[in-house]
Amino acid sequence: MKPPPFEYVAPSSLEEVLAQLEEGGFDARPLAGGQSLIPMLNFRLARPSILIDLNGVEELSFLRSSEDGSVRIGAMTRQRAVERSAEVARAAPLLAEALGHVAHPQIRNRGTLGGSIAHADPASELPAVMLVLQARFRVAGVSGERWIPAAEFFFGPFMAALDPGELLVEIEVPAREHGEGWAFEEVARRSGDYALVGVAAQVRVDADGVCQRASLGYVNAAPTASLAPTASEILVGEVPTSERIAEAARTAAGDDCDPPSDIHASHVYRRRLADVLTRRALDRAFARAAEVHEP
């Protein structure tokens, strides 16, 4: 279990990184936190000929609030820093809550927000959270940069909407609106494991208790991180009674999810988990949302 040989470059600017990526083509791989890539190298399941280490690129590591309240996070910001950030706690507490489920602190000390998102692992927590938060991703290449909404970013297992030579450089997370409640629920075999299924929920109710927004994002319940639009429709415009929540959860699991089978769980079992966890996440999220309106 030793990595195969590779060339290694450690540029210090984004410009250099992009030039190296362009030049390296398919054989080049950016190395972010390495907490997924290096195990694959050690098992010799990945064999890039060039590794472009992003860890020396200081301009990719930042976390700040914008005037509109959104949080802008450099792709190389460590997950642990995001988890502990006051800005994130204020603007996107769902992200902080979900990060607590990502592996263990020793991994999050090294793992980066951008690395995990770009890896687009359907079993990873962050893509689902990004969908629910309606985050946007700034990606850059030698010929320029563009913003991609999260909803258009994850399109298959380990497949992100990055063109060859492009790098995810920044994540913009919009601020939670007043009155929004959130919850992250997952079932994992052990503490810190990838979830059998996970659900991220963010909801908003008005003063009359009517649901204005309900967004549900799924971990490991489809070939890629996914939303549950059908279930959301059941909730929006309605008072989230326990019956309605149960119906939404059933619908999310039955219609919106398409979970895989593997040695840990069958798709039938995962559907059940999606149902149960959706209900639990919605219960908690709506309870938080309702607190805002409490006298």
Partner 1 sequence: MSLIRIRVRVNGEEHEREVEPRLLLSDFLRHDLGLTGTHVGCEHGVCGACTMLVDGDPIRSCLLFAVQADGRELATVEGLAEDGDLHPVQRAFQEAHGLQCGFCTPGILMTVVAFLREQPTPTPDQIRDVVSGHLCRCTGYQNILEAVRLAAEQAAS
Partner 2 sequence: MSARWFGAPVPRNEDPRLLAGQALFVDDVQLPGLLHAAFVRSDLAHARIRSLDLSAVRAHPGVVGAYSAEDLGDLCIAGPVLVPPPPIERLEFHARTPLPLARDRVRHVGEAIAVIVAESRYIAEDAAEAVELELEPLEPAVELEGALAPDAPLVHEDLTSNLAAHVIQEKGDYHTAREGADRVIRRRFRYDRGVSGALENRGIVAWWDPHDGRLSVWDTTQAPIPVRNALAATFGLSESQVRVIAPFIGGGFGPKIMFYGEEIILPWISLRLGRPVKWIEDRYESFFATTQEREQIHDAELAVAADGTILGVYDDFLHDTGAYDPYGLTVPINSQCTLLGPYRVPNYYSEFKVVFTNKPIVTPVRGAGRQHGVFVMERLLDAAAQELGIDRVEIRRRNYLDPDEFPHDHEILYQDSAHLTYDSGNYAPALERAATLIDYEAFPAEQRKAREDGRYVGLGIVSYVEGTGIGPYEGARVTVEPSGTVCVATGVGTQGQGHFTVFAQVVADQLGVDPAHVRVVTGDTMEFHWGTGTFASRGAVVAGNACHAAAQAVREKIFTLASHLLEVSEDDLELADGRVAVKGAPDHGFDLADLAARANPLRGAVRPGTEPGLEATSYFGPDRGSTASGVHALILEVDPETALVKILRYVVVHDCGVVINPTIVEGQIHGGVALGIGNAFYEQLHFDESGQLSNASFMDYLLPTASEIPPIQTEHIETPSPLNPLGVKGVGEAGAIPVAAAFAQAVENALAPLGIEVLEIPLSPQRLFDLLERVGVESRELGGLGGPGRAGDPAKAAEDAP
Give me the residues that bind partner 1 (CB under 8 A), please.
1-8, 10, 34-35, 38-39, 41-43, 51, 53, 55, 80, 103-107, 109-110, 190-192
Among partner 2, partner 1, none, the one that 35 touches (CB under a kind-dependent 5 to 8 A) is: partner 1
CB 101 within 8 A of CB 195: yes
In the complex, the smallest distance separating the C-beta of residue 194 from partner 2, rounded to whole angstroms, is 8
What are the residues whose beta carbons fall under 8 Å from the beta carbon of 262, sequence distance 6 or more? none
Considering only 92-100, 113-121, 158-166, 270-278, which stretch makes contact with partner 2 by CB under 8 A?
270-278
Q: Which is nearer to partner 2, 154 or 194 (CB)?
A: 194
Pick one of partner 2, partner 1, none as the site partner of residue 91 (Cβ within 5 to 8 A by kind): none
The string over 208-224, giving b where at least 16 C-beta atoms fall within 10 Å of a residue's C-beta and e elsewhere, is eeebeebbbbbbbbbbb
Residue 221 — φ and ψ, nearest 5°?
-115, 10
Among 273, 281, 282, 285, binds partner 2 (CB under 8 A): 273
Q: Which residues are within 8 A (CB) of 185 and not within 5 positions of it... i.e. 6 or more apart?
A: 198, 199, 201, 277, 280, 281, 284
Question: Which residue, 222 or 274, is less far from partner 2 as judged by CB?
Answer: 274
Q: Which two tokens stand for residue 198?
A: 């996970």
Q: Minimum distance from CB of 5 to partner 2 (Å)?
A: 7
Under the binding rule (CB under 8 A), the answer on residue 1 touching partner 2 is yes
Choose the contact partner of 272 out of partner 2, partner 1, none; CB within 5 to 8 A by kind. partner 2
- Which one of residues 176, 279, 284, 288 is an interface residue with partner 2 (CB under 8 A)? 279
Give the nearer residue to partner 2 in terms of CB position, either 13 or 242. Answer: 242
Strands 154-156 and 63-65: unpaired
Helices (H) and strands (E) in the chain, counts: 11, 14
Considering CB under 8 A, how many residues would be counted as binding partner 2? 27
With CB under 8 A as the contact rule, the residue among 15, 25, 44, 156 that binds partner 2 is 44
Closer CB to partner 1, 13 or 66, in the complex = 13
Cα–Cα distance list, 197 to 35, 114, 255, 260, 277 (Å): 21, 22, 16, 10, 8
Closest by alpha carbon to 172, among 200, 146, 136? 136
CB atoms within 10 A of CB 164: 11
Q: Which among partner 1, partner 2, none contacts residue 215 (Cβ within 5 to 8 A by kind)? A: none
Distance CA 294, CA 46 (A): 53
Cα 165 to Cα 141: distance, rounded to the nearest angstrom: 6
**Residue 273 binds which of partner 1, partner 2, none (CB < 5-8 A, kind-dependent):** partner 2
Rg (CA), the chain: 19
Distances (CA, A) of 106 to 79, 80, 109, 110: 10, 9, 5, 7
**Per-residue x/- marks for partner 2, 161-200, CB under 8 A?**
--------------------------x-xxxxxx-x----
Residue 66 or 106: the one with the smaller Cβ distance to partner 2 is 106
Contacting positions for partner 2 (CB under 8 A): 1-5, 39, 43-44, 187, 189-194, 196, 263-266, 268-269, 272-273, 276-277, 279
